Structure 1
């Protein structure tokens, strides 16, 4: 320990989680040469290369993977001890957070998040960016995002996945649909209707997968990239769409639409929050993750939202 600076442990953990000298330097507010120098000291101390450069950034060696958990745990314990003196007070402090959401998230989750933020953190503001699951984790590691919400299970040792809630799927049609008149639909009737579906970078592919599993892709009349177009489309046509139930409840609260039970059990999808590891978060980011987990982890009826938040 006489030859090992505790700051080296923090450099190691951040390099492991971000896979980037640049992101580590920005998080620690030091220069990139300083991080590179610290990495050299770490390599000499442990007698291991620790990280190899690849097309995806720094990839940890087997030795680094063995070191990560105990060092990360030790830093988390230290951070927890001193956090009282380095806390973020949302009632008095300002902050701007950048979050990536799909259009479903913008429609159903963002109003809830902002309504609670106005109550608890009046000086906090948000920048919302479109979710692209292909690069969301990379942007999170580089510090371009503070958090994102997604349904695909993205496995990376550099990010943390925090489950929020599960969604089941329902059908959605116009309120005065000429043939779908009850609160459920048979498989035969579903196959006879034409469908609207969504396929895009947000990664919410389950509705289209459901149709494919029942041989109904040839019944798709329109395929778009955003779920937010569905209420306007279905109000004016006799199409049907498979959609997450909570989002459907939000849509039917403000459009002439109805939800119907599907004739089969579709695998529920889990909506999750993604963030950097706790030891890599700033005090304000720690508050944000706790706040989002608490607010978005509860199912709330659209009727319970404040009037200013459901528009």
Structure 2
């Protein structure tokens, strides 16, 4: 039953039998920026450990973002108390707030708008209570800029390196994005987003191991795991990594809040669902080399395919 529930809740990202980069965003009907899963306590504990040990790697902000950070704190707090009232509460007396996290048994009183009354900057504070990574992009001069963020579970990128960059600069390393003008189309799409009309998408990769923190700065630690993949261990060792990415236009500052919730599923569990097994085998076999290279799966793609194809033979 637990495995059935896990598969039912897993945000499987594919629709067809091939994959290409695209703007695959769709309207977010359940307009909540935050999801609370059974892994909440473990992931929050890991988040806080990383923030304590690597503060500059996991949190960055520009001084002009404080107003937007307060808007994000209010926005996310409202979602937490609206969609998860049994887990979170906020008491308000004018600008005097008390944020209550029932899961962690924590309370924090502060004066809304006065960062000196919080132990961390507003975005950093509220980010320590949610499983999602959160990126704040501000709009100016006809572009979007990554001006603040809390990023503990990146998929091979660096917040410290990217902070201050424009949307196109951030996505420049993705093969084909610029040549196919996909960066311009997606930027235009986001720039036209309106407050109250959020969107979401799913992004995927494969992960050798089950590490959530796959930052560029720690590549020497987790990158070596790619060499350990074999067709014999791929089922338990390799995971389908899916990011549920949600985009919200903030009405007061006109910025974009980008939340990222990372999910991992071992291939052994994916293979237990025949439809997914067949589809993902086709996708991985057909995946163009430049996409496989960018996603970092070239070195062990054949081992994974051998594992998946053997599971298919068993199901026939």
Superposition TM-score tier, normalisation by shorter sequence: under 0.3
Q: State the structure with bigger RCO (CA 8 A, min sep 6), 1 or 2.
A: 1
Structure having the larger proportion of residues in helix: 1
Could you state the TM-score of these two structures normalised by the residue count of structure 1? 0.20
Q: Which has the larger radius of gyration?
A: 1
TM-score scaled by length of structure 2: 0.20
